[in-house]
Chain A
Amino acid sequence: MIKIDQECCDLCGTCVSVCPVDCMELKEAMLVIDNSRCNSCQICVRMCPFKALELVD
């Protein structure tokens, strides 16, 4: 699953725009991930400008 560091997240939406399975969303000033749909491709991890995302077990 993808873990979000909410302190690092700048709410820029880059991850949302690249997620191939559309499982990320900016909701009321918070990034949320539906991990049940996430396929761990890590595209969001590499695209996050501020390193706010990481893949964890």
Chain B
Amino acid sequence: MRKEYDVVVVGGGPAGSTTARFAKTPANSVVLFEKDREIGVPVRCAEATSIPDLGRFVKINPCWIASTVTRARLISPSGQAVLLNLPANGAVLHRRIFDHDLAQIAADQGVEVYTKADVYKIERSDRYWRVYVRHLAHDYCLKAKIVIAADGVESRIARFAGIRTQTVLKDIESCAQAMLANIDVTAGQIDFYFSSKWAPGGYVWVFPKGDHCANVGLGVNGAHFDGRSAIDLLNAFISEKFPDAARLTCVAGGVPVAKSLKQIAVDGLLIVGDAARQVNPVTGGGILAAITAGNIAGTVAAGAIDQADWSLKTLKEYQIEWDKGVGKDYSRFYNIKEWMTELSDPELDEIAELLHDIPPTEMNILTVFKVALRNKPTLLFEAIKLFAKMI
């Protein structure tokens, strides 16, 4: 470990590894610190994403793909199912392998990587950061020009830079997930259950990872908590729907369904991924957002080091690019999420009923939204945008 780096990346998820990869040039030094003992573990993710979108940033390795997905089944509170074709080929990933490979791609560019490396404090000192890291029972203090806060939902690093990252209750889903084995799943299909019985203000997902295996999880919206925690609800769902399942993993997680942070760049620091609340607020999907943000942030950081100006003046380019691209779409989706989380069970059933008469060939996400939003025409424009960007 050196005493000085041009760029220090905190967090080895997709946002951190992608930022590190694009920040690294032959002329600069980049290090990535991951607090856990292994990149990619634990997997706090339902693991679904869109293959063509992912392919814009990284060459797809078939080993990452646990199963491919072409359609979704939406199940209403009374049990009515709506089948719809997805606009782009989706996949359920093996995040464990995927995250590992993204870090390896960064390492191949010359990024140094340390695991079991906990960045517990950063301090501003003139134009630099002092970065305090604890690694294998030793404390180190490094000097860095740029710090990348890719430290996930707890978003601790950004707070050292004076940015308020606390999330309000309606903008976070409390989630629990198990990977179930010995269950029947339909190949190529992902299931969503909407019901206040199972997931108040959220949904249950069943995402197949193989022939008899799936990620089964749910999110409860913070503003809709009724005394039952995510793990209680998940246990109830599994007992009813998959009584014979074996549970290969069980994880907890918080998924931000917020607008991304207003400020994601300051002097010498960029915030990416879940830490910046860069998540599709309708689906809760964050993989593509993390990689898109990492691509921009890394490129901007590399340019800043090259120009020897890592003040906000240069780094704000990241903010501008994010805000006019994915950030703009997501702030529209946020309005749809606000509407969706308030739907009652009878309203959800009514939507499913209306969709019942639509021929399967015409059934897609846009149709669903057209029907669902028939009383909310102002949201239809956002829905059309959403259709183009789904998963």
Please tell me which one of the listed residues B118, B134, B168, B176 contacts residue A50 in the complex, with CB atoms under 8 A apart. B176
**A12 partner residues in chain B, CB cutoff 8 A:** 44, 153, 251-254
A51 CA to B352 CA, complexed, in Å: 33
| A10-B165 Cα distance, complex, nearest whole Å | 21
Determine if B159 and A18 form an interchain contact, defined as CB atoms under 8 angstroms apart.
no
Q: Quick one: closest A residue to B225, CB to CB? A: A46
A interface: dominant SS = loop
Q: Does B155 contact A (CB under 8 A)?
A: yes
- Chain B residues positioned under 8 Å from A20 (CB to CB): 166
Q: Which residue of A lies closest to B44 (CB)?
A: A12
Q: Are A50 and B254 in contact, with the CB atoms below 8 A?
A: no
How many A-B contacts are there with CB distance less than 8 Å?
88
Q: Chain A residues near B231 (CB, 8 Å)? A: 49-51
B254 interface neighbour in A13, A22, A27, Cβ under 8 Å: A13
A49 in contact with B252 given A17-B154, A28-B134 (CB within 8 Å): yes
Query: For chain B residues 212-249, which have a beta carbon within 8 Å of chain A?
Result: 222, 225, 229-232
C-alpha spacing A47/B172, complex, angstroms: 9
- Give 1 or 0 for each of B167-201: 1 = CB within 8 Å of chain A CB: 11100101110000000000000000000000000
Q: Are B222 and A46 in contact (CB-based, < 8 A)?
A: yes
Query: CB within 8 A of A14: which of B120, B134, B253?
Result: B253
- Interface size, chain B (Cβ < 8 Å): 33
Q: Which residues in A have their C-beta under 8 angstroms from that of B174?
A: 14, 46-49
> Which residues of chain B come closer than 8 Å to A55, judged between CB atoms?
none
B286, CB-defined interface residue at 8 Å: no
Tell me how far the C-beta of A56 lies from the nearest C-beta in chain B, rounded to whole angstroms: 18
The residues of B that contact A19 with a CB separation of less than 8 Å are 166
**B152 contacts partner chain A, Cβ-Cβ < 8 Å:** yes
Alpha-carbon gap, A9 to B175, bound state (A): 13
Chain B nearest CB, measured from A27 CB (Å): 7
Interchain CB contact (< 8 A) of B154 among A10, A13, A28:
A13
A47/B118 in contact, CB under 8 A: no
A22 pairs with B166, CB closer than 8 A: yes
Residues in B neighbouring A17, C-beta threshold 8 A: 153-155, 165-167, 172, 254, 256
A19 to B164, CA, bound (A): 11
A–B pairs, 22, beta carbons within 8 Å? A12-B44, A12-B251, A13-B152, A13-B154, A14-B172, A14-B252, A14-B253, A16-B155, A16-B156, A17-B254, A18-B222, A26-B154, A28-B134, A46-B174, A46-B225, A46-B229, A48-B252, A49-B175, A49-B253, A50-B176, A50-B229, A51-B229
- In the complex, besides A13-B153, A26-B156, A47-B169, 9 extra interface pairs with C-beta distance below 8 angstroms are A10-B253, A17-B167, A18-B254, A25-B154, A28-B134, A47-B174, A48-B174, A50-B230, A51-B232
